[in-house]
């Protein structure tokens, strides 16, 4: 049976959707993956969609959702990807594990000489690295 994972951030427009798409792509055989926000923006940022499309992952069908939608669902793992969501994260029924892996908010993380799209790519790659390590460790544990 697949573990259910919920990825939370504040706006549910960038980081959580990129993480959801990446995790589903890397380990959809292991996990049911969802994302939500404490104050959903009401849209998925076009640059988040574009950044994942560049690596062959389609999140254009994703929608911004409030975490309340999942409060009565049994979640095995809850992962927060921003500090504000980490601070307000509720406990979910059946929640076995909770992690906080914070990432910068791409629209507000542009560095000198970097475009906004470059920031989305950089943060996408950081998310991919962290979640990829999680999947690798999980697969190794299953193999033992």
Burial 85-122 (b: 16+ CB within 10 A, else e): bbeebeebeebeebeebebbbbeebbeeeeeeebbbbb
Tokens of 2: 């697949």
Catalytic residues: 9, 82, 89
Q: What is the C-alpha to C-alpha distance for residues 73 and 90, in angstroms, rounded to an integer?
A: 12
Q: What is the C-alpha to C-alpha distance for residues 16 and 21, in angstroms, rounded to an integer?
A: 9
Report helix, strand and coil shares of the chain as percent, to nearest 5.
45, 15, 40
Alpha-carbon 27 to chain mean position: 13
């Amino acid at each position: 049976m697949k573990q259910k994972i919920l990825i939370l951030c504040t706006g549910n427009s960038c980081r959580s959707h990129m993480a959801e798409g990446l995790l589903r792509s890397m380990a959809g055989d292991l996990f049911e993956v969802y994302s939500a926000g404490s104050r959903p923006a009401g849209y998925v940022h076009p640059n988040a969609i574009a950044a994942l499309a560049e690596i062959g992952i389609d999140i254009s069908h994703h929608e911004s959702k409030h975490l309340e939608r999942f409060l009565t669902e049994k979640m095995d793992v809850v992962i927060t990807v921003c500090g504000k969501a980490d601070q307000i994260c509720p406990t979910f029924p059946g929640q076995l594990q909770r992690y906080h892996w914070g990432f910068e908010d791409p629209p507000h993380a542009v560095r000198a000489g970097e475009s906004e799209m470059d920031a989305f790519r950089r943060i996408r790659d950081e998310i991919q690295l962290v979640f990829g390590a999680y999947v690798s460790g999980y697969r190794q544990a299953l193999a033992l």
